[in-house]
Structure 1
């Protein structure tokens, strides 16, 4: 059974106490993706689920899509261009005195030494010292090609952490406005619930979408299962639904999964309209972007347009039971983990296109089995997590369990 350990954690200095970060549950029971054949609790102690056997944390510069052998530094002026066979350097992460990760040009560690800190992506330059001027992303020139591509993992209402992460990457200025020119950002869903300011997160993303468009870039978002849950709670309240675990309601499930009453109280018509139109799936530069690590998308169509149209039609016209079934399907998880994971990933990629899946939904500590620490410290999340034979990248850094809110630049 998937671990359901609760992490009370200390109070966060900015956002208040973390809420219990259980995996999403349904009233009167839980619903999870069926485990691969032969799965056992002991698997979490094996290499398969340790986070190092068959999976790794994201390197500073990903191999170009379709060229897994490339481990070079495509942005290093003194290094051969990415994609060439001669690229053999590897940035191994080393912790700096400030707690960040500074890449060093060392060889890839051998498997025997992978119990040390795994390689990580460089998550952005250090913040400037207080009082120093901030230089935003330059304004786009005429006919300038599209800017860099970023993804943002599950936010869950942690507005202060989101602002800090975006600011750290230079995507917004000190006032919280877009400063990234023609850069492109995709949020992978789950804006609300568990954290203190879900509506504030939605307002920020809507604001950045408008500001990015004016600068020649864009800020877009996917619909996560918590968007479905939040909209269902607002629309159907305590109206009963027939769940697989007994009669329940959207409102009961929303509260059980960290729903914050002040978010529901502040939900307005324009929020509902915007959330209801979010796509469920997207393809960008060879990356198949989804919220949930599940194959349930295949049940809604054999193309990206068909899936998005099916979800939008359902939200516009169908009743409470259809909404509930959609929420239930997109709450499934762990489809790409274990021995059967690469096969499931290929199924999605072969149907919708792309060379790699990028998803949120399942916190990285649960994917790796590294939820517990001997000293009770928060889980260590160096960066996004690559697994399933490099076909899947997890972006939920577990901000609800004192992990990290991840913002990462994708390779183009």
Structure 2
């Protein structure tokens, strides 16, 4: 497998200064200077095992490093011929966006609810070493930021200094969106696949959910420029993937084992009273009245390999903010009453947007968005886990349940 991570400058996601800009405004971002740091080499991958095997330590080729400081991004301006194309932050395919198509919507109205609660997690919490079910951890959207992921996992004691599973019987769930925007999405997938094997051998597990960017990458690989019924003109998965942060280095290194692994991911699970899903949307209800039905239906759609059907699935799971505004708590209760659990834990919508923190990628004062931990809202029934790593925020890895 060609190890081509970081061969091209990374296009980071910029944010709009003004959330009142009309929807799907396309904001160009100047290209960044290539980093002087050599590109990381992603760790070897291992397919998810069907049964625990004897533990074999596999030293990674990408040791944990502290997160790099956010790059300075100048305010958007009109692109010159040599600059990058209009930024994908609000992009849709064609002149008009399909109805409900919001893969990376940045300019929806922000309502800063007075009843939202910011909480701190307990950083000193560590995996249990006894028998039975270990502690439960969740990981927010990674989007190709492998260095930040390794550092966050190590900080929680889930991996050791060599990047190997060190959490015994702990349970670790990734909430989806492994690729796009960041430099090494395939490296992230390889790491998760390897940790899945190592965790199973140690009596725990490391699992992952389907995010909308997994659907986008699968579609771009399978259907490329095949036109799909977007609801508003011609669209293709390939164009949507490129417009929304797709990295050529990821596509060049994408293998069948990655596609098969992504295609088998569940969309919804329930763990210890937590209903885990990627997107903050009620669209999951369109695919079944039980968790098993939802997961089976989505797997069947991907198996049928119909471009229009896959596009419709992608479109629905890109919807967001269903739990944020008036009626948000009722939307959460509808999902909980249908699928079970006492709280929803999701990624997809960055916490700075849910909180109404508006600014450039690095913040108006250059400090970046302040994300101290997960965001609890919707009458305490929803927990947001996307710390906004793509906008110089924070990649969150936390233990559940949360403690105020």
Shorter-normalised TM-score: what interval?
Answer: 0.7 to 0.9
For residue 391 of structure 1, what is the aligned residue in structure 2? Answer: 381
Instruction: Please show how residues 371-390 of structure 1 align to structure 2 within 5 Å.
Output: 371-372=358-359, 373-390=363-380
For residue 258 of structure 2, what is the aligned residue in structure 1? Answer: 271
- Structure of larger gyration radius: 1
The 1:31–1:348 alpha-carbon spacing in structure 2 relative to 1, beyond 3 Å, is farther
1:77-104: CA deviation from partner (whole Å, max 9, x where unpaired): xxxxxxxxxxxxxxxxxxxxxxxxxxxx
1:131-189: CA deviation from partner (whole Å, max 9, x where unpaired): xxxxx967x55xx1211100000000000000000001010011111000011000000
For residue 89 of structure 2, what is the aligned residue in structure 1? Answer: 22
The 1:42–1:205 alpha-carbon spacing in structure 2 relative to 1, beyond 3 Å, is closer
1:121 Cα deviation (Å)? 1.9
For residue 115 of structure 2, what is the aligned residue in structure 1? Answer: 54
* Aligned residues between the structures: 328
Instruction: Give the Cα separation in 2 of the matches to 1:264 and 1:202.
Output: 13
- Are 1:282 and 2:269 matched, yes or no? yes
Asked whether the 8 Å contact 1:337–1:388 carries over to 2, the reply is yes
Instruction: Give the Cα separation in 2 of the matches to 1:363 and 1:181.
Output: 31
- Are 1:202 and 2:200 matched, yes or no? no
> The residue matched to 2:314 in structure 1 has which SS?
helix
Q: Which runs of 5+ in 2 are unaligned?
A: 1-18, 36-66, 74-83
1:271-328: CA deviation from partner (whole Å, max 9, x where unpaired): 1111100000000000000000000000000000000000000000141000000000
The 1:8–1:54 alpha-carbon spacing in structure 2 relative to 1, beyond 3 Å, is farther
1:245 Cα deviation (Å)? 3.1
The 1:24–1:203 alpha-carbon spacing in structure 2 relative to 1, beyond 3 Å, is farther
For residue 58 of structure 2, what is the aligned residue in structure 1? Answer: none
Instruction: Give the Cα separation in 2 of the matches to 1:166 and 1:32.
Output: 38
1:374 Cα deviation (Å)? 4.3
- Are 1:368 and 2:355 matched, yes or no? yes
For residue 351 of structure 1, what is the aligned residue in structure 2? Answer: 338
Higher mean displacement: 291-300 or 9-18: 9-18
- Are 1:247 and 2:234 matched, yes or no? yes
Instruction: Give the Cα separation in 2 of the matches to 1:210 and 1:394.
Output: 28
Asked whether the 8 Å contact 2:281–2:322 carries over to 1, the reply is yes
The 1:26–1:146 alpha-carbon spacing in structure 2 relative to 1, beyond 3 Å, is farther
For residue 122 of structure 1, what is the aligned residue in structure 2? Answer: 122
For residue 175 of structure 1, what is the aligned residue in structure 2? Answer: 162
Higher strand share: 1
Instruction: Give the Cα separation in 1 of the matches to 2:91 and 2:164.
Output: 32
Q: Which runs of 5+ in 1 are unaligned?
A: 36-40, 59-119, 126-135
- Are 1:238 and 2:225 matched, yes or no? yes
1:232 Cα deviation (Å)? 0.4
Instruction: Give the Cα separation in 2 of the matches to 1:147 and 1:57.
Output: 26
For residue 405 of structure 1, what is the aligned residue in structure 2? Answer: 395
1:33 Cα deviation (Å)? 5.7
Asked whether the 8 Å contact 1:33–1:333 carries over to 2, the reply is no
Asked whether the 8 Å contact 1:237–1:250 carries over to 2, the reply is yes
1:54 Cα deviation (Å)? 1.2
For residue 211 of structure 2, what is the aligned residue in structure 1? Answer: 224
- Are 1:293 and 2:293 matched, yes or no? no
Provide TM-score, normalisation by structure 1.
0.73
Instruction: Give the Cα separation in 2 of the matches to 1:316 and 1:229.
Output: 15
Structure with larger RCO (C-alpha < 8 A, sep 6+): 2
1:230-284: CA deviation from partner (whole Å, max 9, x where unpaired): 0000000011112123211000000001000110111111111111000000000
- Are 1:309 and 2:296 matched, yes or no? yes
> The residue matched to 1:289 in structure 2 has which SS?
strand
> The residue matched to 1:22 in structure 2 has which SS?
helix
1:28 Cα deviation (Å)? 3.8
Residue 322 of structure 1: which of 309, 312, 327 is its match? 309
Instruction: Please show how residues 1-80 of structure 1 align to structure 2 within 5 Å.
Output: 14=68, 22=89, 25-30=92-97, 44=110, 49-50=111-112, 53-58=114-119
Asked whether the 8 Å contact 2:127–2:134 carries over to 1, the reply is no
Instruction: Give the Cα separation in 2 of the matches to 1:159 and 1:204.
Output: 9
Q: Cα RMSD between the aligned structures? A: 2.9
Asked whether the 8 Å contact 2:332–2:344 carries over to 1, the reply is yes
> The residue matched to 1:323 in structure 2 has which SS?
helix
Instruction: Give the Cα separation in 1 of the matches to 2:29 and 2:392.
Output: 9
